[in-house]
Each structure stands twice: as C-alpha cells, then as structure tokens.
Copies of this chain bind each other. A is one copy, B any other.
C-alpha cells in the first residue's frame, strides 16, 4: 500500500551533501498505479481484518461507535429543544474515523481536532455527562461551559480541543509534536481535520515543518467530500489528498473511513512509525457525513441529492462492523442490543446531568482570561469591575 511504497528523503544524508541543488536526489512520489485505491485496502479475510486484536478491544470499538452515535442523537434532540445553542456539528456517519484512529493510540498520546469533535472528545476520555454539560453551557462541562460544542478540552485526557478556525488546529498540533520531540518523549500527536482544511496555507506550512524536522505527527484528513456545501472536487485541483504528501516527501496512506478496522490498521502503522522516530504521516480517511454540516443545514438538497445520501448510508460504519463481528461470532445480535440499551441510557443520563448542572455564574466572566491576573496595572478596560 502507499504508506510502505512511499519513501522519504533522509534529511541527514541530504544535508551532508554540500554540492547544492544538482546533487539533491528527488524523493519518490506516490505510485502511479491507477488501482492505487483498491491496492490501498488490501483484500483480507474476515479473520485477517481483525489483526488478532482481543475480543474485548473489538467489542469496545463497537461500543464506542454506538455510544458516539447515540450521544449525538441525544444531542440533536436537546438542540431541537433549545437546550443547546450556537453552532453544533454532528459526526454521524464518520464515527469509524476518530474511533478507529484513537484506538491506535496509547493513553499518553495527544489528540486535537476541529469543531466536529464530540466523538473525538468522548473517545479521548471525556465523560459523556461532562461533554453534554458543555453542550448545555453548564459549569460541569469539560470546558466549564465556556467552550461549547466547538471547544471541548480535557487536559487530564490529553484532549487538546476543539478548534473553530478551519485549519487552525494544524499548527497547534505541530507545536505539540515539537514538544514531544523537544522532551524526547515517545508520545504521538494525532491531529484531525476536514478535507476542506487541506487547501488552507496552515496545512502546507505545518506539513513542511513536520517532515523537515521529522516530528511525531499523524495528520488524519477526514474526507467526507464536502466543506459545508462545497464538494471537494470544486475546491481542489487534485482529488487525491494523500498525494499532496509527496510535496513534502512525507509518507501517505488512504484509509476506508467507513471501516473501523481499516482505519485502525492504517493509523496504527503511522502511529508506530511516528513513535519510533520515523516522522509524520498523512492519512486520508474516505468517509461521509450522514447529517447536515451543522444543525441549520438540511441533510440533502442544495449540494447533494437524497439518493446520494441514501446510497452512502448503506456504508454505515456501525452496520458494517456489526455484521463483521456477528459473522466472526464476537458480538451477537442480542449482545449488540444490550450494548445499545446501555449507551442510550448513558446518553440519557448525560442529558439529565447536564440539565441539572448550574450555569456558570457571572464572576466566571473574568476568570480564565489571564492565568496571571495578580499583576500590577489594569488588565480589563470595560470599566465594569
């Protein structure tokens, strides 16, 4: 597959040559095999697909996807009731990407993403009740109600948010990867972004530095084919995001974002490489958003047809995985339903908890603006305090 076939330039070797341009070898670009994509997803037997992962882990992946799905359905419900405000971007349909990707990490690794982040936050260890309380804007929220849907954070779980500026999280993630290298830790930084963020300059500036300095950064592009109402092919002159890595002599891979095990397999390889000093990897996860861009955007209509959405829904990552686990007798239909009842209950309780949690009080307005407030001179100029 691409990742293995794509070779990187060895900086040391390159720098040691002092003869100038004409002596610098051109690194290999991605293979030209028109079959690249099928090649990217090897033809594995059902058993092989599970990569010998423990039954528990395989079941946990199912559980996590179900929880993500039910939690967000509850979120949509609460939003409709006006319990949640502002922008709210659901992840329904894309669960396999973040959950498969994060399952490939160790507890000490870091994750950062954009605003479509509820499931990433949960997967990193944010309690459903803390996530829901954040959506409700309450003091028990994971950001004390100050961040909301787009800005969840959890320092204790190495979950670094939750960012609203398209592409803005990429340079920040680069900095975390830099810190890992700086302190010579063996952690990995995983950053998620939507495919539309690939066009932002921040993406390119960051990939170059990550590759130049061989930082432990795994960049996962969630290609759900639309940036709001703009289809990727209307926004990029080159369809293949993974190929953009060749501009940075960076290994790249494509993962089937609707198949949690393929997502895990591809990400794990990149994570292992990063952890062992092999530098960054660009992963393009091909996925699809079953819901509107945000709560105010209809599921279909202007920029995609009902038929298209219906057809894509046949690839529901949860159904696909459930069938596999059933075939492998790892999770029966009954067990699945049990699981489902459980996560529904958790989402339910999360909403009840959020409902009861108090709103942050007025003094909170001037808290967390500065870490060091106890300074000489005036910090606030609104004449209110």
Task: Name A's B-contacting residues (CB within 8 A).
Answer: 9, 11, 14-15, 20-22, 24-30, 32, 34, 36-37, 199-205, 208, 211-212, 223, 225, 232-240, 243-244, 246-250, 286, 308, 312
Min CB gap A248→B, angstroms: 5
9 residue pairs, one from A and one from B, having the closest CB atoms: A201-B201, A211-B237, A29-B29, A24-B239, A204-B204, A247-B247, A212-B237, A244-B247, A238-B249
Min CB gap A15→B, angstroms: 6
Beta-carbon nearest neighbor of A17 in chain B: B233
Say whether B21 contacts A239, CB under 8 Å: yes
A339–B232 alpha-carbon span in the complex (Å): 56
Return chain B residues, CB-CB under 8 Å to A30.
26, 29
| 21 chain-A/chain-B pairs, Cβ below 8 angstroms | A11-B237, A20-B312, A21-B232, A21-B239, A22-B286, A24-B240, A25-B34, A25-B239, A26-B30, A26-B243, A27-B238, A28-B32, A29-B32, A200-B201, A201-B205, A211-B237, A237-B248, A237-B249, A243-B246, A244-B247, A246-B246
Return chain B residues, CB-CB under 8 Å to A248.
237-238
Say whether B211 contacts A200, CB under 8 Å: no
A66–B11 alpha-carbon span in the complex (Å): 39
- Which among A201, A212, A225, A234 has the highest number of chain B CB atoms within 10 Å? A201
Residue from B200, B205, B238, B312 within 8 A of A247 (CB atoms): B238
Return chain B residues, CB-CB under 8 Å to A244.
247
Given contacts A26-B34, A205-B199, A247-B247, contact A20 B225 (CB under 8 A): yes
- Which among A14, A233, A237, A240 has the highest number of chain B CB atoms within 10 Å? A237
Min CB gap A181→B, angstroms: 15
Return chain B residues, CB-CB under 8 Å to A237.
9, 11, 208, 211-212, 248-250
Residue from B199, B202, B233 within 8 A of A14 (CB atoms): B233
Min CB gap A38→B, angstroms: 9
A296–B25 alpha-carbon span in the complex (Å): 34
Say whether A235 contacts B247, CB under 8 Å: no
A20–B233 alpha-carbon span in the complex (Å): 9
- Which among A29, A250, A312 has the highest number of chain B CB atoms within 10 Å? A29
A199–B14 alpha-carbon span in the complex (Å): 18
Beta-carbon nearest neighbor of A286 in chain B: B21
Min CB gap A126→B, angstroms: 31
Min CB gap A171→B, angstroms: 10
Residue from B28, B204, B235 within 8 A of A212 (CB atoms): B235
Return chain B residues, CB-CB under 8 Å to A246.
29, 238, 243, 246-247
A256–B297 alpha-carbon span in the complex (Å): 52
Min CB gap A296→B, angstroms: 24
Beta-carbon nearest neighbor of A28 in chain B: B32
- Which among A26, A27, A238, A246 has the highest number of chain B CB atoms within 10 Å? A238
Beta-carbon nearest neighbor of A26 in chain B: B240
Return chain B residues, CB-CB under 8 Å to A235.
212
Return chain B residues, CB-CB under 8 Å to A200.
201, 205
Residue from B20, B22, B201 within 8 A of A202 (CB atoms): B201
A207–B249 alpha-carbon span in the complex (Å): 19
Residue from B25, B32, B225, B239 within 8 A of A9 (CB atoms): B239
Return chain B residues, CB-CB under 8 Å to A286.
21-22
